[in-house]
Amino acid sequence: MADGGIQTTEVLPDAANARVFRDALGRFATGVTVVTIAGPDGPMGFTANSFASLSLDPALVLWSLARSSRRFAHFAEARHYAIHILGQDHSDLPARFSRSGRGFEDLDWQPNDEGVPILPGALARFDCSQHATHDGGDHLIIVGQVLRLALEEGDPLVFAKGRYGRFDG
């Protein structure tokens, strides 16, 4: 027992303990983003919480893409993309851009200067060009150079322990 009588579970992160590993990762609250590209048959997007800042000079951000995604090749090869940080009033968008979601169907959007679809009202948007990619096991780590960004006021949509919610601060 740790101090205060709290039970601590320790395991090795391997295939036999994949669920415990995912549960441990879920203890880290993240923001929620939608990454968009101009796909071969129209606009494409997916929900991602694997987003992070990387460098201020030059302005670089990173995100990761599951190799098992049906849309992997399109996003991995995209030269330009936009990352949208979602606010609390966008709680419908993560499901829309999930594996079986409706995507851009009946959704208002505009293209940016590179032709990438942008979603209105995101708390922040980063229009990027692909700077580098790196092997990340079952994911591809994509580093983007930020070409331009946009900001709006609002509170972030947060994801933790498998649920979307809000930050009360």
pLDDT tens digits, residue range 88-146? 999 899 999 988 889 999 999 999 999 999 999 999 999 999 999 999 999 999 999 99
Instruction: Give me the residue spans of the domains in the chain.
Output: 12-160
Report whether 7 contacts 20 (CB < 8 A): no
Residue predicted with more confidence, 108 or 2: 108
pLDDT value at residue 107: 94
Query: Where do the H-state alpha helices sit in the chain?
Result: 18-25, 72-77, 93-96
State CA 149 to chain mean position distance: 16
Give one word for 154, left, alpha or beta, with left for phi > 0 and alpha for psi -120 to 50: left
Region 6-14 average pLDDT: 76
pLDDT value at residue 4: 65
pLDDT value at residue 1: 46
Region 30-36 average pLDDT: 93
Tell me yes or no: is domain 12-160 CATH 2.30.110.10.
Answer: yes
% the chain with pLDDT above 90: 71
Region 2-19 average pLDDT: 73
Report whether 94 contacts 87 (CB < 8 A): no
pLDDT value at residue 2: 52
Closest CA to 143 of 71, 58, 70: 58
Q: Spell out the residues 6+ positions from residue 65 whose beta carbon is closer than 8 angstroms to its own.
A: 48, 72, 75, 76, 139, 140, 142
Region 68-95 average pLDDT: 95
Report whether 46 contacts 82 (CB < 8 A): no
Cβ neighbours, 10 Å, residue 142? 24
Q: Largest Cα–Cα distance in the chain?
A: 57
